């Protein structure tokens, strides 16, 4: 989600060591076994180097991680609620862990924004993150979702660099897979944010418009493919945007990222709700899936 510039939203042991350890481990090397020196297992690449080469969208077929939201409650081994009354961009909502604001229904995650007073906030909603539970490196992420609409409604599917505690935004990098202004419900906005400090924050992005209808009418699949030095965005399997490391500097987007799902209400992106905005508003997410190629 976009942020104001003054506001923060957010790689072996050597061969000898490995061989000695193997010989000390009964299951790996026993005295009854042939006494030839075992061939060392090649060092696996760092997580972010797996799937570093760019491949065609269809070649990412190995499911690494997913949530199909088929249970009765949010799987908190995968997601964490971010509960706060204090968000940025002049947003009006408090985010909660209440079942009034987030629940599972019929195999869907439902994030629900409501008009209700909570402490000093006029609206409530929910925001969940995979931070500390699932990092996303190179590969393809698919999110199938149906979005809300209405003036002042701001659904988002996005990512922040997993090192954001050490490299505060925007240095950690931000990838907006999907953002939508509720007053323009047929337009998906995709953006990256980067820079060393908030004072020199930069961004690059695009918009894609549905030919008919809007994103509240039906489910659509929002996808991001990450490879070394390249980002590609897809809507329902069709590419509409890409960025390479030669185009932007600094480029933090080869690092690990975590995912965020939320609805914001009001603020700088689409303004505040008006008399035409009815509540509650829901973002329904069928699944989140992370693929790599073999």
Residues with catalytic function: 174, 179
In the structure encoding, which two tokens stand for residue 93, read together? 């909502």
**Strand (E) or helix (H) holding 17:** helix 15-24
* Inter-residue contact 202 to 248 (CB < 8 Å): yes
Unique residue bearing structure tokens 């797996």? 50
Q: Give the C-alpha distances (Å, rounded to integers) separating 161 from 10, 52, 61, 174, 287.
A: 9, 17, 24, 7, 22
Range list of β-strands (E), 18-85:
62-67, 80-81
Q: Give the C-alpha distances (Å, rounded to integers) separating 239 from 32, 159, 162.
A: 57, 19, 26
Distance of CA 55 to the CA centre of its chain: 20
Region for residue 189 given its phi and psi (left: phi exceeds 0; alpha: psi -120 to 50; beta: otherwise): beta
Burial class (CB in 10 A: 0-12, 13-18, 19+), 23: middle
Q: Give the C-alpha distances (Å, rounded to integers) separating 64 from 74, 101, 160.
A: 19, 28, 19
* Inter-residue contact 288 to 259 (CB < 8 Å): yes
Range list of β-strands (E), 4-138:
62-67, 80-81, 93-95, 102-105, 108-118, 121-125, 127-129
């Amino acid at each position: 989600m976009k942020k104001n510039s003054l506001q923060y939203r957010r790689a072996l042991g050597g061969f000898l060591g490995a061989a000695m350890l193997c010989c000390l481990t009964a299951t790996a090397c026993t005295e009854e076994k042939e006494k030839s020196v075992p061939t060392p297992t090649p060092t696996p690449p760092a997580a972010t180097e797996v799937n570093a080469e760019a491949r065609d969208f269809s070649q990412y077929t190995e499911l690494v991680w997913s949530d199909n939201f088929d249970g009765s409650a949010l799987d908190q081994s995968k997601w964490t609620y971010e509960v706060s009354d204090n968000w940025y961009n002049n947003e009006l909502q408090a985010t909660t862990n209440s079942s009034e604001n987030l629940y599972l229904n019929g195999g869907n995650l439902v994030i629900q924004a409501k008009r209700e007073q909570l402490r000093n906030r006029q609206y409530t909603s929910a925001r969940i993150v995979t931070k500390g539970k699932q990092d996303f490196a190179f590969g393809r992420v698919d999110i199938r979702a149906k979005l809300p609409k209405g003036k002042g409604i701001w659904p988002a599917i996005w990512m922040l660099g997993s090192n954001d505690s050490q490299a505060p935004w925007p240095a950690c990098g931000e990838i907006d897979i999907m953002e939508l202004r509720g007053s323009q419900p047929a337009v998906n906005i995709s953006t990256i944010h980067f820079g060393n400090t908030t004072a020199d924050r930069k961004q690059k992005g695009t918009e894609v418009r549905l030919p008919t209808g809007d994103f509240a009418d039906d489910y659509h699949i929002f996808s991001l493919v990450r490879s070394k030095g390249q980002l590609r965005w897809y809507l329902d399997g069709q590419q509409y945007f890409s960025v390479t490391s030669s185009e932007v500097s600094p480029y933090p987007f080869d690092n690990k990222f975590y995912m965020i799902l939320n609805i914001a209400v009001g603020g700088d992106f689409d303004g505040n709700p008006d008399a035409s905005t009815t509540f509650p508003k829901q973002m329904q997410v069928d699944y989140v899936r992370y693929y790599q190629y073999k």
